[in-house]
Amino acid sequence: MMAFAGVNSFQWERLLTFFILLVAVNEASAIEWNGNNWAHGCDFTGGDFSRAAIPSEECGGRCAATQGCTHFTWTRYNGGTCFMKQGPVSKAHAFSTSDQSMVCGVILEGLPDGQMAGKTTRYWDCCKPSCAWPGKAAVSSPVKSCRADGVKVLRDANAISGCNANGKQAYTCNNNMPWVVNSNLAYGFAAANIKGSDERGWCCGCYKLDFTSGPINGKSMIVQVTNTGSDLGENHFDIQMPGSGVGMFDGCTSQWGLPLSVWGQQYGGVASRQDCFGLPQAIQAGCLFRFDWFMGADNPNVQFVKVKCPAELEARTQCVRQ
């Protein structure tokens, strides 16, 4: 090993490490990032988990729409390939390349402590929520369900769901609609599937969802989990909004006596703000929320963290975790 006078091997190794880090920092700082966290002539080491043969200008959007994708690189490989990557990352991890046709970018930089990346969808099936059944979790009482008017609360936690073929009794209460707190914060309810947990861990728990994509990027919701779903992926929140699709089960036609066509597509719901006025007047405000505060966002991604439930949410479900 080359040595300098008066510098021992330990000191030399530390100097060498410093120079390597200095080169890496200089490379990252030499990359000219634009306002959307992407740049030309750069790449990230490793982290590949998916790829797609698409044009370079579509790579960032594909990554944002792919669950788990935190950063990406596009190259001319095979006529143009988007390499989607995952893992803790920042722009400082990128290195410059001599190929200016390459594109790299960051969707989610390293998350703050306790936060996780997730996805959202939307629904309103009118069914009795799963967390309304007894014994699901250690709570003060199960989530309250209502009679067909959506207002009168049922005392019997074993009342038959309105989504059953026979004996329909219990439905989602109208007050499980989302509502606006201010221009950047809203409260609501959701079905969920959270990695490493189950209904015992998430029923009636609350989570702050910070939206990271689409027109509501930068806004937040705090939701109380009242339901689950076998069709939900990991770290997936299905936010309750009237007129957002009945999904796998339909309790809305029996609850309100309106044809299924009024409720829009099975997954996705009504197509426009005007369509909200075809729903029962008692829940129209929750449908309008989707097109107003929620800005018509279509399944935006989130960073989420468990939080203490606001009293306003617990008051509506009368369910408090013990």
Output phi, psi for 124, to 5 deg.
Answer: -160, 100
Strand order across the beta sheet in which 48-52 lies: 38-40, 103-106, 71-75, 81-85, 48-52
CB 306 within 8 A of CB 206: yes
**DSSP H helical segments within the chain, as ranges?**
9-30, 59-64, 199-202, 252-256, 284-291, 311-317
CB 107 within 8 A of CB 71: yes
d(CA 171, CA 262): 18
Output phi, psi for 30, to 5 deg.
Answer: -75, -20
d(CA 320, CA 314): 6
Q: Which helix (H) or strand (E) covers residue 95, if one does? A: strand 95-96
d(CA 123, CA 115): 24
- The catalytic site residues sit at 125, 238
**3-class state of residue 11 by DSSP:** helix
